[in-house]
Amino acid sequence: MADASCVSTTPPSVNKAWIYREHGETAHVLKFETNVAVPQIKEDQVLIKVVAAALNPIDAKRILGVFRATDTALPTVPGFDVAGVVVKLGSKASKFNIGDEVYGDINEEGSINLKKFGTLAEYTAAEERLLALKPKNLSFVEAASLPAAIETAYEGLKRVGLSAGQSILVLGGAGGCGTHVIQLAKHVFGASRVAATASTKKLDLLRSLGADLAIDYTKENVEDLPEKFDVVYDAVGQSDKAVKAVKEGGRVVTLIGPITPPASMFVLTSTGSILEKLKPYLESRKVKAVIDPTGPYPFSKTIDAFAYLQTSRATGKVVVYPIP
């Protein structure tokens, strides 16, 4: 695995990056280019030599043009999650030093105010408040897989007020966000009982992450379970089922619409402070990165990585590494 000692802290003027100049299917419009300008950093930003980056479903939606009404003008380099090395500091950046290994989700407001220059490139820029120092025991691949997913998991659990001793059901427990909801609910928020859904082959994974009850959604309907839960975290867009599995007076949070009341939905506000708060759990391995076993994908195979992500069969996160 690459480390800071083998990364040059003198950035070139041009960048290798995946870029799209029109909206459409990823396989048709996303192109690899070798002469893309390195982004200029603002006073509160740092320039990062990217070592690994993770893909998120929102990346594919953005490329399709789902957010075109509020998105930046094309061309665009996609990508939210990054792990890499700081190579340049903005004039008012004081949180990090050149050579620091950092990670984060560089799009602060979810699908709003998306960055024109994302993380699928040799170099990218990010506000330092969105980043945290990479835990030393994590590889760049592990670190890149975490930010958007673990921050979304944490923020959702905070919003529904999960507290110690309560029960929770996670719909989509083997996905990028769900794997972290299980772990955070159990090890950070102190849930007394964690149930989660997945397909037959992924039930052992759920148990290994801390699920007390692993439910095979191909064989059981969660809305028919005799047991009801204090909180239901819907990571797959099934709030109609989620609201039937919650106790009276319980709370449901969902990541994908449409929303069935009383479920609520939120958009993540990315911040490095969540990663800093979770650092002890990551360092102790109480909370672990979950990387899909088909990866990490070489940077040159980013199109293949997107194709796999869009099958909705990924376990944990899809990561591309190493960035040249």
Same domain, 158 and 227: yes
The answer to whether residue 123 sits within a structural domain is yes
The domain in which residue 153 lies consists of 149-265
The answer to whether residue 3 sits within a structural domain is no
Would the pTM of this model clear 0.85, i.e. be above it?
yes
pLDDT, tens digit, 9 for 90 and up, residues 204-247? 999 999 999 999 999 999 999 999 999 999 999 999 999 999 99
Residues 30 and 20: beta-carbon distance below 8 Å: yes
Domain at 221, CATH number:
3.40.50.720
Same domain, 18 and 127: yes
Domains in the chain, number = 2
Same domain, 113 and 41: yes
pLDDT of 11 higher than 90: no
Could you tell me which of 102, 150, 158 has the C-alpha nearest to residue 126? 102
Q: Give me the pLDDT at residue 112, please.
A: 83
The answer to whether residue 246 sits within a structural domain is yes
Burial of 265-296, coded b for 16+ CB within 10 Å and e otherwise, reads: beebebbbebbeebbebbeeeebbbbbbeebb
Could you tell me which of 151, 61, 78, 155 has the C-alpha nearest to residue 320? 78
Domain at 44, CATH number:
3.90.180.10
Same domain, 78 and 188: no
The answer to whether residue 284 sits within a structural domain is no
The answer to whether residue 220 sits within a structural domain is yes
The answer to whether residue 140 sits within a structural domain is no
Query: Residue 2's pLDDT band (boundaries 50, 70, 90)?
Result: very low
Same domain, 177 and 73: no
Q: Give me the pLDDT at residue 1, please.
A: 42
pLDDT of 15 higher than 80: yes
Q: Which of 229, 248, 265 is the last residue of a domain?
A: 265
- Torsion of the alpha carbons at 52, 55, 58 and 63, rounded to the nearest 10: 90
Q: Give me the pLDDT at residue 6, please.
A: 52
* Residue ranges with strand state E in 160-212: 167-171, 193-198
pLDDT, tens digit, 9 for 90 and up, residues 61-95? 999 999 999 899 999 999 999 999 999 999 999 99
Q: Tell me what the mean pLDDT of segment 197-201 comes to.
A: 97
Could you tell me which of 290, 300, 292, 305 has the C-alpha nearest to residue 322? 300
Q: Give me the pLDDT at residue 12, please.
A: 82
Q: Which of 86-90, 135-139, 320-324 has the lowest mean pLDDT?
A: 320-324
The answer to whether residue 272 sits within a structural domain is no
